[in-house]
Amino acid sequence: MNMQTKIVPATAKRFANTKGISREDWLAIRKQGIGSSDAAAACGLNPYQSMLELWMIKTGRVAQPAESSTDNHYSPLYWGQQLEPLIAKFYQLKTGNKVRRINSVLQHPDADKAFMLANLDYAVVGNEDVHILECKSVGEWGTKNWRHSVPLYVLIQVQHQLAVTGKQTAHLCALICGHEAKIFTIQRNETVIAQLIEAERKFWNCVVQDIPPSVDASESSAKAIQQLYPEHRALHKVDFSEDENANALFDDLVKNSHLIAEHQLRYDQLKHQLQMQMKDAEQAIFKSGTIYWKKSKDSTILNQKALLKDQPNLLKQYPQSKAGSRRFVVNLPN
């Protein structure tokens, strides 16, 4: 009789104690590896952070974005932290499961995967079927991504946690817009984890070797590029005339710029035709959607130009510096 032996992944190592740790020390720990919240960005699958931006943080070129505070009306990180214990309490009431804090950054037990770190929200105790609880507070802007299932970047985060801890199952409890809670079960997927490990390994090699990763079309990449190369060197030129790859990129750029211009002209024409049909109507209803055409409220603003003309000394008394940025201009021969 043949018996198949089930392979049980090793238990994660405790990399650092986080109880009572300062923010500075916490950020220093995070720079030593890829955490679960970094995983999707490291794989190029986070819609809110590019690989390049994450690389710049890990290599110390830019600081980790500051946590939003109560000074701002929009403070998702602050409210997420405040609501996390309440979400965990709801989860316990709903499922009967008990949870506890880990207060440690965990590390993958394999030496060749030591770059994989994880800081769990909670561990589920006393349940052989579920081992990890991840809590999420979802605001109005993110609601559409949770309509039918867990967003991909969050699934990657949880699979990363399962990879590091060697656990088989996690629960994700999401509070949506403050009044609806959903509990999702996420099973360990070895195929996904294998791909995740290889993608994260490639990214971490970029960090170790100080080589920028590939870029994408995101706003995050655009911001990171401006931060990475904020200044130009006067009169310095780089000749790509013999570089086939660079020339192919340039030709494709020019082609797409023409397509954008053509589409913009067509869009403007259609927009103007519909505006003429709407006349003074606030709203137009169609089979597949709606158009709103409303006037904004009148407002009064300060005429700075006239004020400075009358009182030029104000500029010296209340100066405000504004950093310049590099402009990307494409020139073509006539």
Give the CATH number, domain containing residue 154: 3.90.320.10
Share of the chain above pLDDT 90, in %: 81
Per-residue pLDDT for 76 more than 90?
no
Predicted local confidence at residue 140, as pLDDT: 85
62/189 Cα distance (integer angstroms): 34
Predicted local confidence at residue 3, as pLDDT: 47
- Amino acid identity for residue 187 in this structure: Q
Q: How far is CA 240 from the centre of its chain?
A: 33
Per-residue pLDDT for 6 more than 70?
no
- Within a domain: 326: no
- Within a domain: 300: no
Predicted local confidence at residue 10, as pLDDT: 66
Which residue in 140, 150, 99 sits closest to 121, CA to CA?
99
Q: pLDDT, tens digit, for every residue of 97-135?
A: 999 999 999 999 999 999 999 999 999 999 999 999 999
| Contact (Cβ atoms closer than 8 angstroms) between residue 188 and residue 162 | yes
Q: At CB < 8 A and 24+ separation, what contacts does 221-228 make?
A: 221/50, 221/52, 221/53, 223/53, 224/50, 224/52, 224/53, 224/55, 224/56, 224/62, 225/52, 226/325, 226/326, 227/56, 227/61, 227/62, 228/52, 228/56, 228/61
Provide the domain count of the chain. 1
- Within a domain: 72: yes
Strands 132-138 and 169-176, by their bridges, are: parallel
Q: How many CA atoms lie within 13 A of 52 on its CB side?
A: 17
Place of tokens 């797409």: 256
Q: pLDDT, tens digit, for every residue of 214-242?
A: 999 999 999 999 999 999 999 999 999 99
What mean pLDDT is predicted for residues 172-196?
95
Predicted local confidence at residue 1, as pLDDT: 43
Predicted local confidence at residue 71, as pLDDT: 62
pTM of the model: 0.85
- Within a domain: 131: yes
Q: How many CA atoms lie within 13 A of 21 on its CB side?
A: 15
- Within a domain: 302: no
> Residue 81 has which token pair?
């932290």
| Contact (Cβ atoms closer than 8 angstroms) between residue 281 and residue 295 | no
**Residue range of the domain that includes 138:** 16-222
Q: What DSSP string runs through 198-264?
A: HHHHHHHHHHHHT------SSHHHHHHHHHHS--PPTT-----TT-HHHHHHHHHHHHHHHHHHHHH
- Within a domain: 177: yes
